[in-house]
Structure 1
Amino acid sequence: MTKLVALQVGDSLEEIRLRPVSRLDLIKYAGASGDYNPIHTIDEEAKKAGLPGIIAHGMWTMGNLAKLFTPYVEQGFIQDYSVRFQGMVFLGDVITLHATLTEKKDNQLRFRVSATNQNGNEVIQGEVVFSLYEKISIP
């Protein structure tokens, strides 16, 4: 596994491609998050709202984006995380998650993160500040 401390500005983490978004994914997320807005689970309600069909919760996509850092939990933690929602995610979309190192300063690594759909359209963009655990010397 890559040691994050070894990354150089411009290096990217390994992309993650999610399986196609399913209705069950969104129903489960609604239950876990308490966001029962019917545009996320009921076709007719989404259409009444002017949408072509149900859309994923923005926070569902944001939460998945954090998976890029799961393999590095032993090296540090996400200290700050901010995103801007750029587009909608629909049933059947295949989302690919990306992270590129933009800055290294002391034990903090700043990444540009994004999620794109199968057409290459960005649906989320943002930034993650990942703090590396400081090494403690034990005498």
Structure 2
Amino acid sequence: MNASQLFIGRRIVHKDFPPITRHQLALYCGASGDHNPIHVDLDFARQAGFPDVFSHGMLVMAYLGQALTDAIEPSRIRSFSTRFAAITQLGAKLTCEGRVAELFEDKGEKRARIALTTKDQNGEIKLAGEATIAL
């Protein structure tokens, strides 16, 4: 994709993910080393005031990173940052999107800033962020 194909507002990242399962959370615990019981122990989650376990924020960020690298060659990504906006419940079906927010040049390199979001099936934003890519 080159600069002539881009315009402010153009969606260039889009990926849907299947519902988050207990099995995924358990696998992520093992892979990440994050064994916080709030993510896998129903009794612990209920004692903490939650109706059920919920996803690791970093798992949701990984989904967004995968959606970004599926759309943009990783060597063209100059930065990637996120902010956690809401808890992602078990069973959430996530959609990751990115739209061109700015076109600019930095040190002679044409770039785009991409506004990123991850939303659940109800449209609630779970993660917001941005990426800067080289064109």
Aligned residues: 129
Q: Give the superposition deviation at 1:57.
A: 0.4
Name stretches of at least 5 consecutive residues in structure 2 with no aligned partner.
none
Letter of the 2:9 counterpart: G
Partner deviation per Cα, 1:60-113 (whole Å, 9 max, x = no partner) = 001100122223227x43221221111111111101111011111233211110
> What is the aligned partner in structure 2 of residue 93 from structure 1?
92
Q: CA-atom RMSD, angstroms?
A: 1.6
The correspondence for 1:131, drawn from 122, 127, 134, is 134
4+ residue segments displaced more than 4 Å:
none
Secondary structure of 2:11's partner? coil
Does 3-12 or 55-64 show the bigger shift? Answer: 3-12
> What is the aligned partner in structure 2 of residue 110 from structure 1?
113
Relative to total residues, which structure has the larger strand share, 1 or 2? 2
User: Distance in 1 between the 2:48 and 2:66 partners?
Assistant: 31
| Conserved 8 A contact 2:13-2:99 | no
| Conserved 8 A contact 1:110-1:130 | yes
Does 98-107 or 4-13 show the bigger shift? Answer: 4-13
Q: Give the TM-score normalised by structure 1.
A: 0.85
Letter of the 1:126 counterpart: G
Letter of the 1:49 counterpart: A
User: Distance in 2 between the 1:15 and 1:125 partners?
Assistant: 14
Q: Give the superposition deviation at 1:31.
A: 1.1
Q: Give the TM-score normalised by structure 2.
A: 0.87
| Conserved 8 A contact 2:17-2:93 | yes
| Conserved 8 A contact 1:109-1:131 | yes
Letter of the 1:15 counterpart: H
User: Distance in 1 between the 2:7 and 2:89 partners?
Assistant: 35
Does 13-22 or 55-64 show the bigger shift? Answer: 13-22
Partner deviation per Cα, 1:21-78 (whole Å, 9 max, x = no partner) = 011111111111111001111111111111111010001001100122223227x432
> What is the aligned partner in structure 2 of residue 135 from structure 1?
none
> What is the aligned partner in structure 2 of residue 66 from structure 1?
65
User: Distance in 2 between the 1:55 and 1:4 partners?
Assistant: 39
Q: How do residues 38-77 of structure 1 correspond to structure 2 at under 5 angstroms?
A: 38-71=37-70, 72-73=72-73, 76-77=75-76
Q: How do residues 72-83 of structure 1 correspond to structure 2 at under 5 angstroms?
A: 72-73=72-73, 76-83=75-82
